[in-house]
Structure 1
Amino acid sequence: MNIREIIAKRAALELNDGEVANLGFGMPTQAVNYLPEGVSLIMHTENGAFGIGPKPKYEEANSDVSNAGSEPVTLPPGAAIMSLGTSLGAMRNGYIDVTILGALEVDQKGNIANWAVKRKGLWWPGIGGAMDLTHGTKKIVVTLTHTDKYGNSKIKKEVNLPKTGINCVKTIITEKAVFDVGDDILILREIAPGLTIEEIKEITEADFIVSEDFKEMEI
């Protein structure tokens, strides 16, 4: 199992039966492939639908029916289609129970940066609907690799990149650990098999304490 699969599989355990869920691009969308048995969600896509279904077969795909990442989806009976403005309003006003988002950086205060890197003097590609989701969703789960390609921690004392949302993240999931966000400090809840707490400290810039129910990561 590769790093992305490990993160997606663990992220799926943060989803509960009956929740209204929005999954961000990349690793978050893969979480639905690992839902625990008996868990059924009402899936939302920010471009304007509640109750979307799974990806269709290639020959059954309809280019007019896609999620916010332009990936083909299905609209099973009961799905609701709406304007983008209505969808964004639902996101801002608490109709989404849980959102799993990818991130470039996250910090011990629960801030997330996931929309911009600076290239040729410009910040891009743009903030998109993640800003609305971080404002209005009850539970924000962040997925990302623990370090960048140079070995630098992506889990910061304070994010360096432009923020998407402030003090909003509840849980952080990497291929090496699971943290909850406490009061200006992280709480180490789980650790990947074969690793030690000291090894996690060496690759984590943020301050953290160890949970009383600390255990091995469920992957």
Structure 2
Amino acid sequence: MGWSRFEMAQRAAQELQDGFYVNLGIGLPTLVANFIPEDSQIWLQSENGLLGMGEFPTEETVDVDLINAGKQTVTAIPGASFFESSASFAMIRGGNIDVAILGAMEVSEQGDLANWMVPGQKVKGIGGAMDLVAGVKKVVVLMEHVAKSGQPKLLKHCQLPLTGKKVVQRIISDLGVIDITPHGFKLVELAKDVSIKQIQDATGADLIIESN
């Protein structure tokens, strides 16, 4: 039932347009790099100082010195550039990134995002998430619809510490695509073999469903 992780990433890649500058968050969003059309001019940016990130390398093409912000090995496309992290964050804070595709622990129906810590657990820090949600033009969340415990991750109000308030525009989960609207969550698209009842039952808030 629903989309696999690769199908979710493939669906998220459809949000990107030619000429976009895009930041991919750590974890599931990094898979989106594998589904960028070869003939497109989409530039993937990493906070550690890379513009022009390509898909994940094979054993033959891996370069252990070429990594993304999550310390995964990556490739660079022709025309890529490398720079210090201060320049990278200047791009982000200056509003030069069109879309950020980020993971999340919770998203509220107002578009609040919690994606950096769980109280009581050790964390290294918030990283670039707060800068991204404040500086980019559009935030798309890519995540599983429910937690491993079975609890909804789409809620009326986030319970975890926030990364940003009213920053998310769209959510792509294994169950479908949902937009944040002034009236709450709105169903845009169902994943394969998922019913409206199933996605509503897995959502911790009302879901707006427009009849065709």
So what's the TM-score if we normalise by structure 1? 0.87
Contact 1:52 1:75 in 2 (8 A): yes
- 1:94-133 to 2 correspondences below 5 Å: 94-119=95-120, 122=121, 124-133=123-132
What is the Cα deviation at residue 97 of structure 1? Answer: 0.6
What is the Cα deviation at residue 54 of structure 1? Answer: 3.3
Residues 71/149 of structure 1: CA separation in 2 closer, same or farther (3 Å cut): closer
> Tell me, what secondary structure is at the counterpart of 1:79?
strand
CA RMSD of aligned residues (A): 2.2
Aligned amino acid, residue 200 of structure 1 = I
| 1:86-116 Cα distance to aligned partner (Å, 9 max, x none) | 1112111111111110111111111111110
> Tell me, what secondary structure is at the counterpart of 2:88?
helix
Residues 83/208 of structure 1: CA separation in 2 closer, same or farther (3 Å cut): same
What is the Cα deviation at residue 64 of structure 1? Answer: 2.9
- 1:198-213 to 2 correspondences below 5 Å: 198-211=197-210
| In structure 2, C-alpha distance between the alignment counterparts of 1:93 and 1:107, rounded to whole Å | 26
- Segments of 5+ residues of structure 1 without an aligned counterpart are 214-219
Aligned amino acid, residue 197 of structure 1 = I
- 1:177-192 to 2 correspondences below 5 Å: 177-192=176-191
Q: Which moved more, 1:191-200 or 1:32-41?
A: 32-41
What is the Cα deviation at residue 211 of structure 1? Answer: 4.1
Match of 1:217 in 2: none
Aligned amino acid, residue 101 of structure 2 = I
Match of 2:173 in 1: 174
| 1:27-49 Cα distance to aligned partner (Å, 9 max, x none) | 11111223357434111010012
So what's the TM-score if we normalise by structure 2? 0.89
Match of 1:156 in 2: 155
Match of 1:216 in 2: none
> Tell me, what secondary structure is at the counterpart of 1:5?
helix
Residues 31/207 of structure 1: CA separation in 2 closer, same or farther (3 Å cut): same
| 1:40-96 Cα distance to aligned partner (Å, 9 max, x none) | 411101001212333344355333321111122334442222211111121111111
Match of 1:41 in 2: 42
Contact 2:3 2:174 in 1 (8 A): no
Aligned amino acid, residue 36 of structure 2 = L
Aligned amino acid, residue 156 of structure 1 = L
Aligned amino acid, residue 172 of structure 1 = I
Q: Does residue 193 of structure 2 align to residue 194 of structure 1? A: yes
- 1:54-133 to 2 correspondences below 5 Å: 54-58=55-59, 60-119=61-120, 122=121, 124-133=123-132
Match of 2:143 in 1: 144
Residues 75/194 of structure 1: CA separation in 2 closer, same or farther (3 Å cut): closer
Q: Percent identity?
A: 41
